[in-house]
């Protein structure tokens, strides 16, 4: 076999697999897949978005995290929305304003990083040129993609309980959105309908031909800035020209003797490692999976992780993150002792419900020993589409705290804290698992449970990502509908608040590739319609 790719969209997975089949390496496949994902799942990611990836290439001695998070516009101010703060979603992902200015339209957008991130990774670590890996996405945009069940589900989620706007309302904000995503009679397109985006195909062709600079300092940058100025957005040519990808060293943790390589702040790797370190203090493998005690330990560990995340995790260019303490064994042991003694952590949240997950992932391993995992997103899609360009801007500004003086507060050029956690697990010096998940603040709990399922409960990768999950990012334990009622009844009898999801596959959507002898196995969470393909 040449390699294996797993992605949350079958068309995108197929694109990456074809690159592997043609002799491309894992990085070529991941970037081709990422461009495709922006076409076939346009509210999950795209060239108006941002992300993070982790790359390991043993033959070149390369192990790097490329961070291409969206950044607050340089004209943004810490107190620009302080008088309109209305609350926060229960999972802590989004901050709510009375007039929704941070989630709808051009003002919701931060400076996008995806094009720079994709192009930098390909130029430095890939073997194919930009035009070659972008060609499948250009074809897909021009010929169209079929709306899949999860795509339609996301478009039609009723978000009023979260205090946010419905996605369908944001889809109809622009003339381009109404043409792309609605029928002539005004009804939203449904599963099986085709979305053709010729404007996006042309934009991708321009980027493929001219390179990424056209988006940041060239003609497309000028078009974006003009569109922003007309519509009241804050992004200017200065923002775009100043954008840089950050290359960082992975941060490290350990779980049951396996080495965990994560991405550093402002992303979610520190939170993931902290959570795994707390769980490591318990002999989880002796517990029945999703039993009362298993869920109690998971829930309390997640709450302590969340308390630390809210207090400390942010863009390290602006926030002093006490990374050594958060990742220390002593810190994890202290929290584990509290859990063992029955102490219950308290995570203050507003009464609003959970934020829907709007992010996507791809993971690839190849026969050269290369491993790459990429998580990329629009944050919470803004609904704003520049006329003639075809792509939607991110809605990253809803992730900044409108109250000044906090770790997540707004600052010019600041990256919003992100739960993205593209992760590589090592057995000794060799990568064993490449894993990632979409799902906002659900990402870290989802990946932690998937890894525990493989390592503690000896599940296959496919079983591990599909097993019922829980999250506890407030004082309520949220459970998948496949967690037994007898278990949740017992938890409620202990005084826990429990909320049961109607979804069978809830709370993030981990996707992973695992080394198996001379080959690989893969798992795509069934929530997202994706698949794993070995070549």
Cα torsion 40, 46, 50, 53: sign: positive
* Cβ 516 vs Cβ 506: under 8 Å: no
437 near 509, Cβ under 8 Å? Answer: yes
Separation CA 65–CA 50 (nearest Å): 14
Give the residue ranges of DSSP H helices in 385-484. Answer: 443-455, 461-466
Please give the DSSP secondary-structure letter assigned to residue 189.
Answer: P
Angle at 266 between CA 255 and CA 89, to 5 degrees: 95
State the Cα angle at 49 between 44 and 52, rounded to 5°.
90
Torsion of CA 195, 201, 204, 208, to 10 degrees: 140
124 belongs to a structural domain: no
Confirm whether 399 is domain-assigned.
no
- At 58 the pLDDT is 98
The sign of the torsion formed by the CA atoms of 481, 486, 489, 493 equals negative
Cα–Cα distance, 296 to 58 (Å, whole number) = 40
Q: What is the pLDDT of residue 92?
A: 62
Bridging pattern class, strands 476-479 and 497-500: parallel
**How many other C-beta atoms can be found within 10 angstroms of the C-beta atom of residue 156?**
13
Q: Kindly state the tokens that stand for 169.
A: 């309302």
Domain that holds residue 481: 248-354+420-534
Residue 293 buriedness (CB in 10 A; 0-12 / 13-18 / 19+): middle
Run of H or E including 261:
strand 258-262
In a domain, 82, yes or no: no
Total domains in the fold of the chain: 1
Q: How far apart are CA 449 and CA 32, in angstroms?
A: 29
Please tell me which residue in 89, 306, 359, 373 is annotated as part of the active site: 359
Note the pTM of the prediction, 2 decimals: 0.95
Residue 232 domain-assigned (yes or no)? no
348 Cβ neighbours under 8 A, 6+ residues apart: none
* CATH at 512: 3.60.20.40
Distance separating alpha carbons of residues 66 and 119, to the nearest angstrom: 11
Q: Any idea which residue has 């202290």 for tokens?
A: 334
In angstroms, the CA 88 to CA 111 distance is 23
For the chain, how many helices (H) and strands (E)?
18, 20
pLDDT in tens for each of the 535 residues of the chain? 899 999 999 999 999 999 999 999 999 999 999 999 999 999 999 999 999 999 999 999 999 999 999 999 999 999 999 999 988 876 667 788 989 999 999 999 999 999 999 999 999 999 999 999 999 999 999 999 999 999 999 999 887 777 778 889 999 999 999 999 999 999 999 999 999 999 999 999 999 999 999 999 999 999 999 999 999 999 999 999 999 999 999 999 999 999 999 999 989 999 999 999 999 999 999 999 999 999 999 999 999 999 999 899 989 999 899 999 999 999 999 999 999 999 999 997 644 445 455 799 999 999 999 999 999 999 888 999 988 999 999 999 998 999 999 988 999 999 987 889 999 999 999 999 999 999 888 999 999 999 999 999 999 999 999 999 999 999 999 999 999 999 999 999 999 999 999 999 999 999 999 999 999 999 999 999 999 999 9
Give me the sheet containing 430-436, strands edge to edge: 251-255, 258-262, 423-427, 430-436, 511-516, 519-524
Q: What is the DSSP string of 265-331?
A: TTSSHHHHHHHHHHHHTS-GGGSPTT-HHHHHHHHHHHHHHHHHHHHH-S-TTTS---HHHHT-HHH
Strands 359-366 and 3-7: antiparallel
Rg of the chain, C-alpha, whole Å: 21
Distance separating alpha carbons of residues 168 and 354, to the nearest angstrom: 17
How crowded is residue 151: how many other Cβ atoms within 10 Å of its Cβ? 22
359 among known catalytic residues: yes
Cβ contact 121:68 at 8 Å: no
Please list, in sequence order, all residues whose beta carbon lies within 8 angstroms of the beta carbon of residue 397, skipping any fewer than 6 positions away.
Answer: 72, 76, 102, 103, 107, 108, 109, 110, 410, 416
Q: What six digits make up the tokens of 301?
A: 């560990």
The verdict on residue 439 lying in a domain is yes
Per the CB < 8 A criterion, the answer to whether 282 and 336 are in contact is yes
């Amino acid at each position: 076999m040449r390699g294996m790719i797993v992605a949350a969209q079958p068309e995108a997975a197929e694109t990456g697999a074809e690159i592997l089949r043609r002799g491309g390496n894992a990085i070529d496949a991941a970037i081709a897949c990422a461009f495709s994902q922006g076409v076939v799942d346009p509210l999950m990611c795209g060239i108006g978005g941002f992300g993070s990836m982790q790359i390991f290439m043993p033959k070149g001695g390369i192990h790097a995290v490329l961070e291409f998070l969206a950044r607050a516009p340089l004209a943004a101010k810490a107190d620009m929305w302080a008088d309109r703060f209305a609350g926060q979603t229960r999972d802590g992902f989004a901050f709510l304003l009375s007039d929704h200015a941070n989630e709808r339209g051009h003002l919701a957008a931060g400076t996008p990083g995806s094009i720079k991130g994709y192009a930098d990774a390909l130029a430095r670590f890939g073997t194919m040129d930009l035009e070659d890996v972008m060609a499948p996405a250009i074809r897909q945009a021009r010929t169209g993609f079929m709306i899949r069940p999860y795509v339609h589900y996301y478009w039609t989620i009723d978000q009023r309980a979260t205090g946010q706007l419905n996605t369908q309302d944001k889809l109809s904000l622009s003339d381009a959105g109404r043409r792309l995503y609605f029928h002539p009679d005004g009804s939203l397109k449904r599963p099986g309908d085709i979305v053709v985006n010729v404007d996006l195909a042309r934009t991708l062709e321009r980027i493929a031909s001219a390179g990424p600079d056209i988006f940041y300092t060239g003609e497309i940058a000028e078009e974006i800035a003009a569109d922003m100025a007309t519509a009241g957005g804050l992004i200017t040519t200065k923002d775009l020209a100043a954008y840089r990808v950050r290359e960082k060293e992975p941060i490290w943790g350990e779980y049951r003797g396996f080495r965990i390589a994560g991405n550093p702040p402002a992303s979610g790797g520190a939170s993931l490692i902290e959570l795994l370190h707390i769980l490591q203090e318990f002999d989880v493998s002796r517990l029945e999976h999703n039993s009362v005690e298993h869920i109690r330990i998971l829930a309390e560990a997640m709450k302590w992780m969340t308390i630390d995340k809210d207090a400390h995790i942010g863009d390290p260019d602006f926030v002093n993150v006490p990374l050594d303490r958060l990742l220390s064994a002593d810190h994890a042991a202290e929290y584990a002792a509290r859990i063992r003694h029955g102490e219950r952590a308290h995570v203050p949240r507003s009464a609003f419900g959970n934020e829907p997950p709007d992010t996507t992932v791809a993971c690839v391993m190849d026969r050269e020993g290369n491993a790459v995992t990429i998580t990329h997103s629009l944050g919470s899609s803004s609904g704003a589409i520049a006329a003639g360009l075809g792509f939607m801007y991110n809605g990253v500004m809803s992730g900044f705290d409108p109250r000044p003086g906090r770790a997540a507060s707004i600052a010019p050029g600041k990256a919003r804290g992100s739960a993205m956690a593209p992760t590589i697990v090592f057995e000794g010096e060799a990568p064993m698992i490449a894993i990632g998940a979409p799902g906002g603040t659900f990402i870290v709990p989802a990946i932690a449970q998937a890894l525990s399922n493989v390592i503690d409960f000896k599940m296959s990768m496919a079983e591990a990502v599909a097993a019922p999950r829980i999250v506890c990012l407030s004082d309520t334990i949220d459970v998948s509908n496949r967690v037994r009622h007898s278990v949740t009844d017992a938890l409620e009898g202990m005084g826990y608040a429990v909320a049961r999801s109607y979804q069978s596959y809830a709370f993030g959507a981990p996707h992973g590739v695992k080394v198996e002898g001379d080959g690989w196995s893969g798992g795509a969470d069934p929530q997202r319609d994706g698949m794993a393909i070995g070549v």
